[in-house]
Amino acid sequence: MAQRYVMAIDQGTTSTRCILFDQRGRLVSVAQREHQQYFPRPGWVEQDAVEIWRNVDRVVPRALRDAGASAADVVALGIANQRETAVVWDRHTGVPIGRAIVWQDIRTENLVRELERAPGSERIRERSGLPLATYFTAPRLRWMLDAIPGMRERAERGDVLFGTMETWLIWNLTGGVDGGVHATDVTNASRTLLMNLATLSWDDDLLAFFGIPRQMLPQIRPSTDIFGETRRVVPGIKIAAALGDQHAALFGQTCFARGETKCTYGTGSFLLMNTGTTLVRSTHGLLTTIGYQVAGERVVYALEGSIAVTGSLVQWFRDSLGLINSAPEIETLARTVDDNGGCYIVPAFSGLFAPHWRSEARGIIAGLTSYITKGHLARAVLESTAWQTREVVDAMNADAGLRSATLKVDGGMTADHLLMQLIADVLDVPVMRPMVAETVSLGAAYAAGLAVGYWPDLEGLRRNWHLAARWMPQMDPTHRDTEYANWQRAVKLTFDWVQ
Amino acid sequence: MPGPIQSIERAAAILRLLARGSGRLGLGDVAASLDLPKGTTHGILRTLQGVGFVEQDHTSGHYRLGAALLHLGTSYLDANELRSRAINWADTLAARSGEAVRIGTPLDGSVLVVHHVFRPDDTPQILDVGSLLPMHATALGKVLLAYDAELAARIRRAELTSLTRRTIVEPAALARVLGQVRTAGWASEAEECMPGEASIAAPIRAPGGLVVAAIGISGPVDRICAPSSTPAPELVRDVHDAARAVSRDLMTDG
Ligand SMILES: Nc1ncnc2c1ncn2[C@@H]1O[C@H](COP(=O)(O)OP(=O)(O)OP(=O)(O)O)[C@@H](O)[C@H]1O
């Protein structure tokens, strides 16, 4: 019998890739294309949804060709996507109305401030699990409805459709104007501020609060579900899963049990803890979100802590300070010293995310003396990622009432051994890196393969997870406590800076 | 825009080679280390001599770095950079072969482990990045020795310690094996370092051909060398593919 594969499309912030996996969860082929970022004004970030669709049209056949496979060899397709990015299009022509507004875009700052004062805003967190912030989708959609002439009328008539990236791709893949399926999954819907976390459906009060016509919204489905069959690009493939990228990573890391936690270390870092079927409301500044939902089963909730600046601090050290030539050299430089020399860097470049959510905070280098060398600074850069992780993990443990026994990690920064050791040290738990680094794509593939019975159950997927490296905690507890206290003092110094 | 010029990349590799160790090498040593024809190598050396980057000793005929280079400083491939570039390929090698993967670079006559991927069987294993392995008794070490005449000469001068009954301790025998490594493009070892263990490795080359590291797998001898005493061809191919993929990655942007 010919080899059969599962296909994943990872529609990311900077690129779109298509990856084929075999039954043991091993990567068989990869095809990738970057798309353009548009910055029309300060704080605005846009992408062209048509360009992204065209990239899908290119990478999917290429990944198949590289594997020597055809559509008939693909048992299912799973989609993972950048979250919270909004696109709106004409259902009759399939043409997007303006560019997609990306999750990093902060044009809705003023709108969000106004909405905060409006009656009903106190309900948002309770219903959606999220704070009202520019980061999420609803204010973006509201901005489009207000700013684009005629849009609201067209939306109310049902002539325009809204979606996050997976919705746009599913609609196009399943036929577009010719009967395309307009659907999203619970994880993506949970990031809009419009879904009720308990009922898993669009919340009438939230729709009214944000002024969003229900007609334009996609149908909410479980993460693993047969969304439809592709009729374009490569016809005849079952679309069997969709998840937001961080949720896909949770799934790809096989964090299926309550308390299991993963952190993806890239430009920013995203820590998600599976909290099982209980909805945990955060009192410590975390987001309550959907982990994933397998069709026919209860939804699995998660707590999320997002850290805005981790890998990007390394980039800043390289590009703006010019102290290293490449990101990995930060480790070489940091290893020229034995400790931070009393120096701490808190990278609150545009405020602090979880668990502080202080938008007025700004970054600081604390403890500077004439003794400090660039080696100490490099070390402080890496330590800042470790301590920020610790703050989020502490908040999670307090909210969930359970302590994760290990941390599963992925992302570009996991190549940094000093950083991984520091994280194990400050968390006092083993840090584990899996063998497949592409956990986002793998998660989408797992979910899709599960939906069509390519893998029998979650246990079967767990058996595919293999440990590539593990770092054990080694730090002396007293030293850890002193350092943490110093870090927390440094964090406080960043508060109330912007007036 | 035109692509990179090969002869310049090769010239850079020769300079790096001469910058290592005592920096006195004959034409044959340089050619063998970089896997280049002698004629080509001679042409490049002459050109470098012309710009003062290389000098030739009148009596021995050996080449060394020229005075004009002294203020240019030295450069090398950062080990952490190498790990970042290699990590996905090393993972793929571990997943395909089912064995533990290591990447090594030379350090003070030993192999420094700069990257280690666990054997994918979830048995307890300990990360040994930063530890040192013997040059003459590991596949990783043999690769590094095979493409660095200076290093090989230094190792042969030192006492070759016997770790098992099979460790090669005869300098002449080692030289012969290193010649075979250069011909084959990969190295192997069975129970020369530890009883019951075997390993296979291949060179990672920087642009120009300079061998900067070796990548390899190791495991029980009955899995690595089944069923005869020579390494399993499919494992050799996997190691070779991974080495080529990392080398290609180093060529592309950087
Ligand atoms: N060895 C290293 N040590 C420290 N930081 C590193 C290292 N290697 C890469 N980084 C940092 O990691 C980030 C890149 O990681 P990754 O490619 O996972 O990021 P991403 O852009 O967020 O991911 P994606 O494009 O897949 O969404 C960069 O910010 C870079 O500075």
pLDDT in tens, A138-175: 999 999 999 999 999 999 999 999 999 999 999 999 99
Spans of chain B, pLDDT less than 70: 1-2, 68-76, 208, 252-254
State how far the Cα of A21 lies from the Cα of A6, in Å rounded to an integer. 5
Same domain membership, residue B92 and residue B192: yes
- The nearest alpha carbon in chain A to B114 belongs to A417
Q: Give the number of other Cβ atoms within 10 Å of residue A463's Cβ.
A: 12
The reply to whether residue A27 touches residue B92, judged by beta carbons under 8 angstroms, is yes
What pLDDT, on a 0 to 100 scale, did the predictor assign at position B140? Answer: 97
Spans of chain A, pLDDT less than 70: 1-2
Q: Is the CB of A328 within 6 Å of ligand 1? A: yes
Q: Establish if A435 touches chain B: CB-CB under 8 angstroms.
A: yes
Same domain membership, residue B115 and residue B63: no
The reply to whether residue A471 touches residue B127, judged by beta carbons under 8 angstroms, is yes
Same domain membership, residue B85 and residue B19: no
What pLDDT, on a 0 to 100 scale, did the predictor assign at position B75? Answer: 41
Q: Is the CB of A312 within 6 Å of ligand 1? A: yes
Q: Which residues, in sequence order, are bridge partners of residue A174?
A: none
Same domain membership, residue B137 and residue B28: no
Whichever domain contains B14, its CATH number is 1.10.10.10
- Which CATH code is given to the segment(s) A5-246? 3.30.420.40
- The nearest alpha carbon in chain A to B86 belongs to A415
Residue finishing a domain among B69, B95, B112: B69
* Nearest CB to B80; choose among A26, A331, A467: A331
Same domain membership, residue B241 and residue B118: yes
- A408 contact partners, CB below 8 Å, separation of at least 6: A253, A255, A260, A261, A262, A263, A432, A433, A434
Q: Each residue of A442-487: pLDDT tens digit?
A: 999 999 999 999 998 998 889 888 899 999 999 999 999 999 999 9
- The nearest alpha carbon in chain A to B82 belongs to A328
Residues in B touching A24 (Cβ below 8 Å): 95
Residues in A touching B95 (Cβ below 8 Å): 24, 26-27, 435-436, 466
What pLDDT, on a 0 to 100 scale, did the predictor assign at position A319? Answer: 87
Q: Which residues, in sequence order, are bridge partners of residue A87?
A: A163
Q: A256, A464 in Cβ contact below 8 A?
A: no
Q: Give me the DSSP letters along B37-92.
A: -HHHHHHHHHHHHHTTSEEE-TTT--EEE-GGGGGG------HHHHHHHHHHHHHH
Q: A223, A247 in Cβ contact below 8 A?
A: yes
In a domain, B33, yes or no: yes
Same domain membership, residue B142 and residue B48: no
* Nearest CB to A466; choose among B79, B83, B120: B120
Q: Is the CB of A437 within 6 Å of ligand 1? A: no
Q: Number of A to B CB contacts under 8 A, please give it.
A: 69
Domain of residue B215, residue span: 79-250
In a domain, B74, yes or no: no
Question: Ligand 1 centroid to A317 CA: how many Å?
Answer: 13
The reply to whether residue B84 touches residue A26, judged by beta carbons under 8 angstroms, is no
Q: Establish if A323 touches chain B: CB-CB under 8 angstroms.
A: no
Domain boundaries, chain A: 5-246
Sign of the Cα pseudo-torsion (B254, B88, A454, A186, in order) = negative
Q: Establish if A331 touches chain B: CB-CB under 8 angstroms.
A: yes
In a domain, B109, yes or no: yes
First-residue to last-residue Cα distance in chain B:
17
Q: Which two tokens stand for residue B35?
A: 């896997």
| CA nearest ligand 1 atom 6, residue | A413
Same domain membership, residue B136 and residue B100: yes
- The nearest alpha carbon in chain B to A437 belongs to B88
Q: Which two tokens stand for residue B182?
A: 């250069």
* Ramachandran area for residue A367 (φ above 0: left; ψ -120 to 50: alpha; else beta): left
State how far the Cα of A157 lies from the Cα of A180, in Å rounded to an integer. 18
- A353 contact partners, CB below 8 Å, separation of at least 6: A268, A305, A306, A307, A308
Task: Find which of A331, A467, A474 to mutate to test the B interface (most B CBs within 10 Å of its CB).
Answer: A467
What pLDDT, on a 0 to 100 scale, did the predictor assign at position B254? Answer: 42
The reply to whether residue B95 touches residue A435, judged by beta carbons under 8 angstroms, is yes
The reply to whether residue A332 touches residue B80, judged by beta carbons under 8 angstroms, is yes
Residues in B touching A435 (Cβ below 8 Å): 91, 94-95, 117-118, 120
Residue finishing a domain among B26, B42, B69: B69
Same domain membership, residue B243 and residue B152: yes
Please name the residues between 75 and 114 in chain B that touch chain A, using a CB distance below 8 Å: 78-81, 83-84, 87-88, 91-92, 94-96
Q: Establish if A326 touches chain B: CB-CB under 8 angstroms.
A: yes
ipTM value > 0.90: no
Q: A224, A241 in Cβ contact below 8 A?
A: yes
Burial B187-200 (b: 16+ CB within 10 A, else e): bbbbbbbbeebbbb
State how far the Cα of A223 lies from the Cα of A82, in Å rounded to an integer. 15
Q: Establish if A98 touches chain B: CB-CB under 8 angstroms.
A: no
Same domain membership, residue B167 and residue B97: yes
Q: Which two tokens stand for residue B202?
A: 């291949």
Question: Ligand 1 centroid to A437 CA: how many Å?
Answer: 12
Residue finishing a domain among B69, B87, B112: B69
Burial zone of B21 (CB within 10 Å; 0-12 exposed, 13-18 middle, 19+ buried): middle
| CA nearest ligand 1 atom 25, residue | A14
State how far the Cα of A186 lies from the Cα of B124, in Å rounded to an integer. 37
- The nearest alpha carbon in chain A to B123 belongs to A467
Same domain membership, residue B122 and residue B41: no
Same domain membership, residue B237 and residue B149: yes
| CA nearest ligand 1 atom 20, residue | A266
Q: A286, A399 in Cβ contact below 8 A?
A: yes
In a domain, B97, yes or no: yes
Same domain membership, residue B145 and residue B230: yes
Residues in A touching B94 (Cβ below 8 Å): 435, 468
Whichever domain contains B213, its CATH number is 3.30.450.40
Burial A65-101 (b: 16+ CB within 10 A, else e): eebebebebbbbbbbbbbbbbbbbbebeebebbebbb
CA distance B111 to chain A (A): 18
Residues in B touching A329 (Cβ below 8 Å): 78, 80-81
DSSP, collapsed to helix, strand or coil, labels residue A199 as coil
Question: Ligand 1 centroid to B90 CA: how many Å?
Answer: 18
Q: Is the CB of A314 within 6 Å of ligand 1? A: yes
In a domain, B1, yes or no: no
Q: Establish if A245 touches chain B: CB-CB under 8 angstroms.
A: no
